[in-house]
Amino acid sequence: MLTLVSGGSASGKSEFAESLVVSSGCTKRFYLATMIPFDEECHKRIARHRNMRAQKGFETIEVPTALEKIHFDGDQENRVALLECMSNLVANELYSPDGAGEQTLQKVIDGVEQLTKQCADVIVVTNEIFSDGIQYDPSTQEYLRVLGLVNQQIAARADCVVEVVAGIPIVWKGKA
């Protein structure tokens, strides 16, 4: 089962996504982290979050790029993966030197496909950043365009699509 969770910043989407993991019934919980740490503050924050999730039984895997190369050993049964956040992964693929560049859309969708093959439940968290009306520079406009397409393609194949507003899940597709 594939679920896409979106929402604005601080909308409660991470907490909602974690609740989906806990209620999934799968006991092997993986957290796929996409942020690239660029300074000491990032490292500290990441270490703190890792510890918090470890207490909830999550194993953290860093996937700042190349999600399509992910590999889990063994059977998909009983495995649930939470990927957070698609907006970071797409930015990393588009802009980092070892990213996929123009192949970003295809690589990221391949990556999600890989996850669904190897995990019984997959929850992808993305970000609603499309309604501020700002005409950004061409590079940022391109980022918005690609992230919009990634979201649409994941939503098209997802069993469930949820927008979280003020901590309240609005179901756009399927049943949360």
Q: Toward other proteins, which CB reaches closer, 96 or 141? A: 141
Q: How far is the CB of 172 from other proteins (least distance, A)?
A: 5
Phi, psi dihedral angles at 163 (to 5 degrees): -105, 130
Q: Toward other proteins, which CB reaches closer, 39 or 132? A: 132
Name the site residues for other proteins (rule: CB under 8 A): 4, 6, 8, 128, 130-134, 144-145, 147-149, 151-156, 161, 163, 172-173
Q: How far is the CB of 40 from other proteins (least distance, A)?
A: 29
Closest of 71, 146, 70, 61 to residue 101, by C-alpha:
146
| Residues 82, 36: Cα–Cα separation, whole Å | 17
Q: Toward other proteins, which CB reaches closer, 63 or 147? A: 147
Q: Toward other proteins, which CB reaches closer, 120 or 155? A: 155
E-strand stretches of 21-75: 28-33, 58-62
Q: How far is the CB of 142 from other proteins (least distance, A)?
A: 10
* CA–CA distances in Å: residue 71 to residues 57, 63, 117, 159: 20, 11, 10, 23
End-to-end CA gap in the chain: 11
Q: How far is the CB of 157 from other proteins (least distance, A)?
A: 11
Give the β-pairing of 121-125 and 160-165: unpaired
